[in-house]
Chains A and B, each alone.
Chain A
Amino acid sequence: MSHSISLTVNGARHDVTLEDARVTLLDLLRERLQMPGTKKGCDRGQCGACTVLVDGRRVNSCLTLAVTVDDSDIVTIEGLAEGDSLHPVQTAFIEHDGFQCGYCTPGQIMSAVGLIAEGHAGDDLERIREGMSGNICRCSAYKGIAEAVQDAARRMAADEERKSA
């Protein structure tokens, strides 16, 4: 039984025929759409390395069956920067050294973008830490990650204010 789905990934439309309904969104991105930026860390929703935005919400792509994201809008780490211009979260991760090996980083960054959009943590470090706890970093760059998210949240809030002023 094959399934035709149509989804937008980083702004580009993809029409995909899946011969196998078992394919997860993570494996669809990595193995079929050749977008390996999203990482597989546990494949079971226990580490957050595979975090992407589906219709603006951060989710674990490893537990999302590809057939269920028909008509969805997906944003991955490859779609965050605009050309050479990095997203404020990406910039902040570099400045605060919010990673070491870089493997969990795409998931951390997508999770941070989701967290900031959710708007419940603000720039409160304890709330940021709690909100980022679904993303495990074995190198343990947690201090830099939390500070990067705080910094990016502040910068983005300031940018918003400037725009609305």
Chain B
Amino acid sequence: MRAFDYTRPASIEEAVAAWTPGAAYLGGGTNLVDLMKTGAMGPAKLIDLTCLPGLDAIEVKGDGSTRIGALVRNSDLAHNRDFAARFPMVAEAILAGASAQLRNAATVGGNLVQHTRCPFFQDGISACNRRDPGIGCDAIGGDTGSMAVLGWSQSCIATHPSDFAVPLAALDAVIEIAGPNGSREVPMAEFHRLPGDTPEKETALEPGEIVTAIRLPAEAAAFAAHSRYLKLRERTSFAFALVSAAAALVIEDGRIAAARLALGAVAAKPWRVAGAEALMVGEPPSPELFARAATAAMEGAMPSGDNAHKIELARRTAARALARAAAGTPAEMPALPASVFGDPAHA
């Protein structure tokens, strides 16, 4: 690990003022410290945000929106009863990710800005355009089982690893940002970026900017009765998604009044297709409908290597997540959150 300076500002203003090129903001550290150990990242200065005041609350605002301070720990959000009741698939997604220890440390802001788990990025050795723009991408032609099937480019085929981000995208979350040029908001759909020619720009954050809060709009709570996260993985727990899906429905009089669907681990950002959602509206829920929606959501998918199976698995996962959502949010969090196992009949 490179040696670094460490500073712990007492306010957002101080934090932003402390930023200099080459500095990095530190939250729970579960991703950044790891990447510093592998050598994938080597900030000259760490600006510890964890003592900033006012960023650790979960509040319901006057307009019905819910604001989650960026320093709220993942586990605290997932286990907040009111929050989990309003946004069950967000809680389920968080609890399906990482381990209890990591969720206890990781902040929700950090979860959003975490880096890809692409091994060619993480190892600090391979050619990676995210780490060293223009140097090339060793993931292409390498071990591609976990790589993207949507939105990738010749400069990067990595996926975003977050579970939490997937339902946030489905629910039109808004990201609140503070920075050298003041505060601003970015819709979730625009927060994570597809690689294009500039994979090093992973998010909409400009240099020196900090995520200060995540806001879920009032209408997002309307899906509480029918929303699920489903995560396919190679062991029962403590594994990144092979593919995942967040599905949320409003069902009125036997017909779908509103639908949301986002897929995880298929692209450099949570993947949402408006058309896939629109085609469900007004229809009665059915396996055929959900299969059509899932197919629409995966339209344009292309293997980035030896990973064509992810396309079919993502379709099926999306359709199943929709079916689960239609069946209704379970009264209590499943013992194995977001798992194919442990839920009642599905087939």
Contact = CB atoms under 8 A, between A and B. Distances in A.
A and B touch in the complex (CB under 8 A): yes
B101 A21 contact: no
B30 A1 contact: no
The size bracket of the interface on B is 20 to 34
Interface in A102-161: 111, 114-115, 118, 120, 124, 126-127, 129-131, 133-135
A14 interface: no
B219 interface: no
B6 A114 contact: no
Contacts of A130: 236-237, 335-337
Given A65-B29, A65-B33, A134-B238, A45 B6 contact: no
A144 B169 CA distance: 40
Contact of B5 (A1, A43, A58, A126): A1
A9 to B, nearest CB: 18
Nearest to B34: A44
Given A45-B101, A48-B99, A133 B33 contact: no
B308 to A, nearest CB: 28
A165 B331 CA distance: 31
Given A130-B237, A134-B99, A59 B104 contact: yes
A90 interface: no
A20 B33 contact: no
Interface string B26-70: 100110011001100000001010100000000000000000000
Interface string A26-45: 00000000000000000111
Given A63-B29, A68-B29, A133-B236, A118 B79 contact: yes
B21 interface: no
B5 A21 contact: yes
A58 B29 contact: no
A76 interface: no
Interface residues of A, number: 35
Contacts of B50: 68
B98 interface: yes
Nearest to A128: B335
B1 interface: yes
B105 interface: yes
B2 to A, nearest CB: 8
A51 B29 CA distance: 15
Contacts of A45: 30, 34, 99, 101-102
Contacts of B236: 130, 133
A131 B6 CA distance: 33
A116 to B, nearest CB: 12
- Looking at B6, B8, B38, which has the most chain A CB atoms within 10 Å of its CB? B6
A127 B100 CA distance: 12
Contacts of A124: 335
Contacts of A115: 100
A130 B98 CA distance: 11
A58 B101 contact: yes
Contacts of A68: 8, 26, 29, 48, 50
A70 B48 CA distance: 12
Interface string B312-336: 0000000000000000000000011
A165 B336 CA distance: 34
A152 B200 CA distance: 48
Contact of B30 (A57, A63, A67, A111): A63
A3 B99 contact: no
A20 B1 CA distance: 11
A60 B101 contact: yes
Contacts of A51: 101
A24 B4 CA distance: 13
A115 B101 CA distance: 10
B3 interface: yes
Interface of B: 1, 3-6, 8, 26, 29-30, 33-34, 37-38, 46, 48, 50, 75, 79, 98-102, 104-105, 236-238, 335-337, 342
7 contacts: A60-B101, A63-B34, A65-B29, A67-B6, A68-B8, A115-B100, A127-B335
Minimum-distance CB pairs A-B, first 6: A134-B99, A133-B237, A126-B335, A21-B6, A133-B238, A59-B105
